[in-house]
């Protein structure tokens, strides 16, 4: 078991919040969210939203969660994640990317709660750290 910390995690945090769940449960929740997608009808047509989650590895890069199962047995104390929300318009010919929102998320074990620090990678996209918090609370609590 080890901490999985990314040495270039942003120093400026957009949002600091708690999830009312123990650390290992939040790790399991993150693993369940990885590579999931929803399809909904938008003004332009069918919109596919996909979530890809990576975890810090070797302090210098991120690994897809697929390459690290079962996740909860390999992480303790703290972990850094890269959470990528991809949105695409589905047309009969191809998928057209609409938006991508990438966040860095650090989660820290605080006993019965898990402390979370979220920062958006770039100002592009239409989500912010509050959207990430709401999604995590809905999925994990």
The reply to whether 65 falls in a domain is yes
Percent of the chain at pLDDT > 90 equals: 69
The reply to whether 87 falls in a domain is no
CA dist 2 to 7, 36, 78, Å? 15, 26, 8
Report yes or no: 34 and 106 within 8 Å, Cβ to Cβ: no
Model pTM score: 0.90
Q: Which tens digits make up the pLDDT trace of 81-119?
A: 999 999 999 988 999 999 999 999 999 999 999 999 999
Q: Which tens digits make up the pLDDT trace of 63-81?
A: 888 876 666 667 889 999 9
Quote the number of domains for the chain: 1
Report yes or no: 50 and 10 within 8 Å, Cβ to Cβ: no
The reply to whether 77 falls in a domain is yes
Helices 23-33 and 129-140, packing angle to 10 deg? 100
Q: Under 8 Å CB-to-CB from 141, ≥6 apart: which residues?
A: 19, 20, 21
Range of the domain at 26: 2-35+53-81+101-140
Separation between Cα atoms, residue 11 and residue 41, nearest integer Å? 38
Residue 72: per-residue pLDDT? 60
The reply to whether 135 falls in a domain is yes
Residue 70: per-residue pLDDT? 67
The pLDDT-based confidence of 34 (bands split at 50, 70, 90) is very high
Residue 80: per-residue pLDDT? 95
């Amino acid at each position: 078991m080890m901490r999985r910390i990314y040495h270039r995690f942003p120093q400026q945090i957009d949002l600091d919040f708690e999830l009312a769940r123990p650390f290992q449960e939040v790790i399991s929740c993150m693993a369940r969210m990885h590579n999931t997608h929803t399809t909904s009808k938008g003004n332009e047509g069918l919109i596919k939203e996909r979530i890809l989650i990576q975890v810090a590895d070797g302090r210098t890069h991120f690994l897809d969660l697929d390459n690290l199962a079962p996740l909860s047995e390999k992480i303790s104390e703290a972990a850094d994640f890269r959470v990528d929300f991809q949105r695409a318009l589905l047309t009969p010919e191809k998928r057209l990317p609409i938006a991508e929102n990438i966040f860095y998320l650090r989660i820290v074990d605080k006993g019965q709660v898990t402390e979370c620090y979220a920062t958006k990678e770039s100002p592009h996209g239409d989500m912010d750290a509050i959207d990430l918090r709401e999604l995590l609370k809905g999925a994990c609590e």
